A and B are shown apart, each in its own frame.
Chain A
Amino acid sequence: ILNVEQSPQSLHVQEGDSTNFTCSFPSSNFYALHWYRWETAKSPEALFVMTLNGDEKKKGRISATLNTKEGYSYLYIKGSQPEDSATYLCACDNYGQNFVFGPGTRLSVLP
């Protein structure tokens, strides 16, 4: 079983602040890394799929980077807004067979 870790567990930021959090995963046998955004009472929504070392993806104010050699990915949010409040999950794709999810980082953006 892969071990996927995320830090911090939770985070409170003020509206307008930029923030980032980390996903760590085993660097051996890497296939793909997925980021999801999960709002309370809803289902997780895919943000990014990343496969190549050095990959950088961006969607609006949210971006992510990937380092497969050292086994980590960062998710950045620029100018946080209250609607960014959610749990952000990363998942390591085990050769396209199944995903192992991290425990998530719960972000609260205070107005």
Chain B
Amino acid sequence: NAGVTQTPKFQVLKTGQSMTLQCAQDMNHNSMYWYRQDPGMGLRLIYYSASEGTTDKGEVPNGYNVSRLNKREFSLRLESAAPSQTSVYFCASSRPGQDSNQPQHFGDGTRLSIL
């Protein structure tokens, strides 16, 4: 089992460029999440998808868009990258539900630098 796979692992962009971060999970999880991690701030939720076909904003959605392509894949797009979006991005998935209390499973992260 690969778990949660993120691509790419590293990327350097110029201000104004666009790119899409890819995330795929093979655990048949319903819910998927995108976080950013900045020094001293822990993990902050950008967007999440509770199930295939739905997406919702998290704490810091501005400047990002997401697509839940199917149950396995959840992509994060930066339309016009800004230096403030320099961060490490983590994708996660879980199988939530009132009776399951499942933890989230994380990918290895994408380190993104915007110059």
Instruction: State the Cβ distance, A76 to closest chain B Cβ, in Å.
Output: 19
Question: Which single residue of chain A is at the shortest CB-CB distance from B102?
Answer: A49
Stretch with Cβ within 8 A of A (4 or more), from B39-47, B62-70, B71-79: B39-47
Chain B residues in 8 Å Cβ range of A101: 35, 42-45
Question: Does B42 contact A104, Cβ atoms closer than 8 Å?
Answer: yes
Q: Which of B45, B102, B106 contacts A98 (CB 8 A)?
A: B45
The distance in angstroms between the C-alpha atoms of A1 and B44, with both chains bound, is: 11
Chain A residues in 8 Å Cβ range of B50: 97-98
Question: Which single residue of chain B is at the shortest CB-CB distance from A35?
Answer: B103
Instruction: State the Cβ distance, A10 to closest chain B Cβ, in Å.
Output: 10
Known: A43-B106, A43-B108, A49-B102. A96 touches B97 (CB 8 A): yes
Judged by a CB distance under 8 angstroms, whether B98 is at the interface is yes
The distance in angstroms between the C-alpha atoms of A102 and B41, with both chains bound, is: 8
CB interface residues, A 19-44, toward B, < 8 Å:
32, 34, 36, 42-44
Instruction: State the Cβ distance, A29 to closest chain B Cβ, in Å.
Output: 14
Known: A1-B59, A102-B42. A42 touches B48 (CB 8 A): no
Chain B residues in 8 Å Cβ range of A36: 103
Judged by a CB distance under 8 angstroms, whether B1 is at the interface is no
Chain B residues in 8 Å Cβ range of A42: 108
Question: Does B58 contact A49, Cβ atoms closer than 8 Å?
Answer: no
Q: Interface code B1-44, partner A: CB below 8 Å = 1, 0 otherwise? A: 00010000000000000000000000000000101000011111
Judged by a CB distance under 8 angstroms, whether A100 is at the interface is yes
Q: Give 5 new A-B contacts, CB below 8 A, not counting A43-B106, A46-B103, A98-B45.
A: A36-B103, A43-B108, A43-B109, A99-B33, A103-B41
Measured CB to CB, the residues of A under 8 A from B are 1, 9, 32, 34, 36, 42-46, 49, 51, 89, 91, 93, 96-104
